[in-house]
Structure 1
């Protein structure tokens, strides 16, 4: 469940804090048990709403990878609310666990020999009341600072495409991704459960915001998507070579990160 959670703007959870009139957003690493629990609750709410499923009866999304990950959050200082999140699994931690999370969805054999420092990103989500460019910009700036200062060579992960339309959107989006962003053959992954065939929608499909952001940064897709029947979505494997992040994004994010 390497999901990227972005609900439609304007949707609110019952009992959740409203967006402040002048939010003051900042990113920080979440290290305490309390903060990580807050993040797990945000993840659970976001993914449950977006994919229309019940993840946990306890309102918490957690797995065995959490204790080995770095947790990055965005807070609104005016309310104290945690409103954005992503987690990072460094390669050395993944080796202790027997592999990256995305290994459960893809055969990563061809990426086993990637040189240097490889980090997996996942579980990215944003509170629906803060669904704006500002939140993701703050989160991405902190992520970029980590990538550069930790000398990360490759960022990997999964981006989800909803399949509530029966897969028509996926069928419409994938041709353009294959044409413009496909990795070389030696850097391809193989989905363990291919996406069922579907006719493309008339509009060609709308690329999810985070998938589009990855492509603009200079990322590539490493092959065909994997079908996640539990969430009824297609997961596309992302490969980003950090030293090839576009100059525009590098300058923008590093300026944001100070």
Structure 2
């Protein structure tokens, strides 16, 4: 059988999505998160259960999962913490990294997206669009006005790439001063990044955030546990609904 014949014989992927709080689904998401994050950030994540990326926020979140029907494999996941549950959760996850005082003035409902990851073999437009289609439907059904979350950049090179990416994003996508946040642990500054004029390769998930209209809320935070730099990003859901919902629905039908 030739390679061309093998590709033709291989069944097309069929991806489906699910929003769940079921413990079994949460554990599957935690396992995928561990596999992806430990590989990309070279961190053991400090989890209590080996092989799982778990924290106290998981129990209060709605978990979005994308599964390959042909293999039964979970290939992408993210979680959403709605403002209505932050009292039980003890606040948003990002409050541990940033001072969010300016964002508390936002009108309407706020939700936080977190722990987003996609299996390396599925990092394509269809999978990411499908994941965001599910996020968009959730946000609109729960009447969320603003979405916030931490966008992570690995620091395996000591932080040069992270600084170059964050500088590029701040030049291009920075919020108004009234919506800026301050990191509790600032990313150590690298002067080499200032003079480095090579093309910046922004991670796919962060590129997706920016295409959806998200904006960066200020300087990055250093997360030594995950060995990464985090940027707080914010998205006006009205903008998301107006610009992308029809596109998302088409992607969901085709996936």
Contact 1:145 1:254 in 2 (8 A): no
TM-score, structure 2 length as denominator? Answer: 0.87
Q: Which has the larger radius of gyration?
A: 2
- Structure 1 stretch displaced more, 117-126 or 92-101: 92-101
The corresponding residue for 1:239 is: 234
1:52 lines up with 2:42 in the alignment:
yes
- Does residue 249 of the first structure (1) align with residue 244 of the second (2)? yes
Is residue 2:161 matched to residue 1:161? no
Residues 27-79 of structure 1: CA deviation (Å, up to 9, x unaligned): 11133221211111111111111111223452111111111100110011111
Q: Identify which range, 224-233 or 199-208, moves more after superposition.
A: 199-208
Other structure's SS at 1:245 match: helix
SS in 2 for 1:49: helix
Aligned residues: 239
| From 177, 191, 201, the counterpart of 1:185 | 177
Q: For 1:211-255, what per-residue CA distance to the aligned partner results, in whole angstroms no more than 9, with x for missing partners?
A: 111111111000101011222211000110111228542331133
Q: Following TM superposition, by how much is the alpha carbon of 1:204 offset from its aligned partner in structure 2, in angstroms?
A: 4.2
Task: Report the alpha carbon displacement of residue 81 of structure 1 after superposing the two structures with TM.
Answer: 1.2
Shift of 1:176: 2.8
Post-superposition Cα deviations, 1:117-142, rounded to whole Å, max 9, x if no partner, equal 10000011112232222211111111
Q: Which residue is 1:15 aligned to?
A: none
Question: What is residue 137 of structure 1 aligned with on the other side?
Answer: 129
Larger CA deviation: 122-131 vs 169-178 = 169-178
Structure 1 unaligned runs (5+)? 1-19
Instruction: For residues 158-212 of structure 1, give each alpha carbon's deviation from its aligned partner in whole angstroms, at most 9, with x where no partner exists.
Output: 1011122222223322333222211111111100111111122441431111111
SS at match of 2:24: helix
Superposition TM-score, scaled by structure 1 size: 0.87
1:73-98 alpha-carbon deviations (Å, 9 max, x no partner)? 00111111111100000011113323
| 1:29 paired to 2:23 | no
- Tell me the distance in 2 between the aligned counterparts of 1:248 and 1:187: 22
SS in 1 for 2:105: coil
- Any stretches of 5+ residues in structure 2 without a counterpart? 1-9
Maintained 8 Å contact 1:144/1:254: no
Q: What SS is found at the alignment partner of 2:131?
A: helix
Q: Counterparts of 2:241 and 2:198 in 1: how far apart (Å)? A: 28
SS of residue in 2 equivalent to 1:83: strand
Q: State the distance in 1 between where 2:251 and 2:200 align.
A: 31
Q: Larger % of helix: which? A: 2
* C-alpha displacement of 1:21: 4.3
Aligned partners of 2:126 and 2:251 also within 8 Å: no
Q: Secondary structure at the match of 2:63?
A: strand
Detail structure 1 runs of 4+ shifted over 6 Å in the superposition: none
SS in 2 for 1:230: coil
